[in-house]
Amino acid sequence: MQLQDLTESLHKHPFLSNMDDELLKTLTSCASNVVLPEGARLFGEGEDAKTFYLIRSGRVALEIQAGERGQIRIQTVGPGEVLGWSWLISPYRWHFDAYAVEQVHAFAIDATCLRTKCETDHHFGYEMLRRFSEVLERRLEATRLQLLDVYGSAATGGENY
Amino acid sequence: MIETTLENKTEIKSSMVPALATIRRAIWETDDTFTLLIDPPADGNAFAFKPGQFNMVYAFGVGESAISISSDPAKPNMLAHTIHRVGTVTSTLSKLKRGDMIGLRGPFGAGWPVEEAVGKDVCITAGGIGLAPLRPVIYSLVRQREKFGRIIILYGARSPLDLLYRVELEQWSKLPNTEVIVTVDRGDSSWKGHIGVVTNLFSYIKMDSRSTLVMVCGPEVMMKYTVEELQRRGLSQEQIYISMERNMKCGIGLCGHCQFGPKFICKDGPVFRLPEVHHLLDKKEI
């Protein structure tokens, strides 16, 4: 894919909607297109967070090794969403394992490249942080809702029923 | 509350007397949720219902529970109640088998706005057993498919084993111009679907914020977050209906058990257009 085509494709991703053209060009210089087959392992817990992904199609599952409970699938990330934010926060290591549940088309963003751009261009860095903060806020809200276990019997109450 | 004039005393009395109904079959949907298929009392027409209405289901000698009707309103000769086994009454109901008798009072309450949805896209958003009161709506939409635009069904459950009506979800997903997206709060590697809260599913659909009517049913906290998400996506409160739940006893607004601010859930609801109750959702004292 030509750089111009890649920029245009990136612009269509919801995470980058309405991003200034110049900033988008900066991001494009760190981006590439990837296709991951079903079952592909994208990254593993504890590994260096070298890349993050903007999912275009398909679905990625995040899993965690929970001792005796085994491998638990805690979340899926699908089209239009961002996969990974550990690249942004020191010590830049993944907290989960990630697998493609089905074939995935995504933009892969080189994290080292992007961190350097953020350091050298603070306007760009602020824009990335602003967009990631929104993602983090939504994920935190969703996690809290999951923790409530709203569909469980205890949450339902209804001893009178 | 209903004013007990001489004119309506007879009506109140008949509303308070359960009619005998016979269990035709019990179907276990999940480990703790079952559907009772019920032959209505001899005068079946008395139990014709609108989607979203409920009956007071009486387990003899134990008590009554308010249970939404989950069957097809076009087939009043067979009622279905999908019931979560959580307490004494529902545990007793869970042990019933073919030929056993129960008492029924109803149908009560205001239903979903199916007629208002004609000509519009419809988004059904359900969490857990909240899909049960919405199933009659889906039957109605499917039966008159050409009258409606897109049908979007978003459904969240605790785990893959807690999903209700799996066969029907599959069938509905194959209908024209119909999307069914299911998510669970937790799964294992054998689950290939979505994992996450039901509000995440709005990211995967393109919804016309001007022409979509949304019907939401599930735990109150789930509905609260869903409403926030819908408003974030540009829907007005007038386009959103929710089904509330409180401890219903009489079913006709007499006893006050289900009072929700100035409303009685059993009589004014359980389905409300959002502006009617939105200001009450965050009130801890209610």
- pLDDT average, residue stretch B208-223: 93
Q: Which residues of A touch B (CB under 8 A)?
A: 14, 59, 61, 63, 70-76, 78-81, 101-102, 141-142, 145-146, 148-153, 155-161
Confidence class for position B217, pLDDT limits 50, 70, 90: very high
Q: What is the pLDDT of residue B63?
A: 93
Q: What percent of chain B has pLDDT over 70?
A: 95
Q: Print burial letters for B190-225: b (CB count within 10 Å at least 16), e (below 16).
A: ebeebbbbbbbbbbbeebeeeebbbbbbbbeebbbb
* B160 in reach of chain A (CB within 8 A): no
Domains of chain B are 6-108 (2.40.30.10), 115-280 (3.40.50.80)
Binary contact (A145, B219; C-beta < 8 A) = no
A13 falls within a domain: no
* B186 in reach of chain A (CB within 8 A): yes
A35 falls within a domain: yes
Between B283 and B103, whose confidence is greater?
A: B103
Instruction: Tell me the per-residue pLDDT of B142-163, one tens digit each, with 9 for 90 and over.
Output: 999 999 999 999 999 999 999 9
* B188 in reach of chain A (CB within 8 A): yes
From chain B, pick out residues whose CB is under 8 angstroms from the CB of A78.
194, 203-204
A64 falls within a domain: yes
Write out residues in chain A with pLDDT < 50, as ranges: 155-157
A47 falls within a domain: yes
Q: What is the pLDDT of residue B180?
A: 97
> In total, how many domains does chain A have?
1
Q: What is the pLDDT of residue B246?
A: 84
Q: Please give the helix or strand (H or E) that residue A112 lies within, else none.
A: helix A111-120
Q: What is the CATH number of the domain that holds A109?
A: 2.60.120.10
Q: What is the pLDDT of residue A155?
A: 47
Instruction: Tell me the per-residue pLDDT of B95-108, one tens digit each, with 9 for 90 and over.
Output: 999 999 999 998 99
* B195 in reach of chain A (CB within 8 A): yes
Q: What is the pLDDT of residue B187?
A: 86
From chain A, pick out residues whose CB is under 8 angstroms from the CB of B87.
158-161
* Mean pLDDT, all residues of chain B: 91
Instruction: Tell me the per-residue pLDDT of B167-202, one tens digit each, with 9 for 90 and over.
Output: 999 999 999 999 999 999 988 888 889 999 999 999
Confidence class for position B275, pLDDT limits 50, 70, 90: very high
Domain containing A66 equals: 20-144
Instruction: Tell me the per-residue pLDDT of B228-274, one tens digit each, with 9 for 90 and over.
Output: 999 999 999 999 999 988 888 888 888 888 888 888 988 898 999 99
Cβ-nearest to B219 among A70, A102, A150: A150
